[in-house]
Amino acid sequence: DAGITQSPRHKVTETGTPVTLRCHQTENHRYMYWYRQDPGHGLRLIHYSYGVKDTDKGEVSDGYSVSRSKTEDFLLTLESATSSQTSVYFCAISSGLAGDNNEQFFGPGTRLTVL
């Protein structure tokens, strides 16, 4: 995996509790993404970042917020977790350079269960 880690790798939490997932990269890539993967849906983009403090919503952003205070870290927060947010969450990075054609590199994933 191209210098990208996620923590925690597994988490079980209860409905209504806040949860923060962390993505850390050592590639100095400009773009970072959070996806969720559910059976039958493939990967759906939650939020992405195009620079420090620069973020934008994806197709399933409701109930999620993100922050990027430095290049290497992108945090995903569920302010009040719901059972519908049980999923596998993947972080990805891309350089943003024209020659790289937005090839994305993925982290190992975080399996989140909300009871």
Residues that bind another protein (CB under 8 A): 1, 31, 35, 40-45, 48, 50, 58-59, 90, 92, 94, 96, 101-109
Q: Which CB, 16 or 96, lies closer to another protein? A: 96
| Min dist. Cβ of residue 3 to another protein (A) | 13
Least separation in angstroms between residue 28's CB and another protein is 16
Query: Half-sphere exposure (CA, 13 Å, Cβ side) for 93?
Result: 23
* Smallest separation (angstroms) from another protein to the CB of 14: 25
State in angstroms the smallest separation of the CB of 50 from another protein: 7
Helices and strands of the chain, counted as H and E runs: 0, 11
Non-local (6+) Cβ contacts of 12 within 8 A are 112, 113, 115
Is residue 13 within 8 Å of residue 112, measured between CB atoms? yes
Q: Which of 21/92 has CB closer to another protein?
A: 92
Q: Which is nearer to another protein, 4 or 15 (CB)?
A: 4
Nearer to another protein, 53 or 101 (CB): 101
CA-CA distance, 115 to 107, in Å (whole number)?
25
Going by C-beta distance under 8 Å and a sequence separation of 6 or more, which residues neighbour residue 67? 55, 74, 75, 77
